[in-house]
Amino acid sequence: MTPFKAAVASFGVEAIAAPVRDPSELESVVAALAREPNGGLIVMPDIFLTAYRVEITSLVARARVPAVYPFRLFAEVGGLLSYGNDQVDNYRRAATYGDRILKGAKPSELPVQAPVKFELVINLKTAKALGLNVPLSLQQRADEVIE
């Protein structure tokens, strides 16, 4: 969390961590966030949050809070915007590793790989519902725009 807090401080905004570990906590966290003026939400990559993406995006939409999500799955179910690594590309590259290991390569000798393909997905329906105008220049940079 330290790099994240350092990054937001450089923009003159405050980061407030709101870890959620149980579905019953979602509503209270989003409600507290909605009470903050000029707030927004950045959802960090996490298997729990991804599993509850429909509930999270619905709560956030009802609270009228702009949010950025880590994976396209969130934008596809109504999230405002997602930016993160392309998970399908990661799975394909993992399969190549599996193939190499099955053919005798030692896992310890394979190079570490980081994601190389990232994608930006914007949901204009959600932006409109929030009363937000997404600049055309941002739409043009997106890998996908959901209308």
pLDDT at 14: 80
- Higher pLDDT among residues 4 and 53, named by residue: 53
Whether the pLDDT of residue 147 is over 80: the answer is yes
What's the predicted TM-score (pTM) here? 0.85
User: CB–CB of 29/43 below 8 Å?
Assistant: no
pLDDT at 1: 59
Q: Which of 11, 12, 25, 19 is nearest to 59 (CA)?
A: 25
Axis-axis angle for helices 23-35, 53-63 (nearest 10): 20
**Distance in angstroms (rounded) separating the CA atoms of residues 87 and 140:** 22
Condensed to tens digits (0 to 9), the pLDDT of residues 5-56 reads 788 888 888 888 888 989 999 999 999 989 988 889 999 999 999 999 999 9
* Tokens read off for 3: 């790099």
* Tokens read off for 53: 């993406």
User: CB–CB of 110/98 below 8 Å?
Assistant: no
List, in sequence order, the alpha helices (H) in the chain.
Answer: 2-10, 23-35, 47-51, 53-63, 72-76, 87-102, 124-130, 136-141
Condensed to tens digits (0 to 9), the pLDDT of residues 98-138 reads 999 999 999 999 999 899 999 999 999 999 999 999 999 99
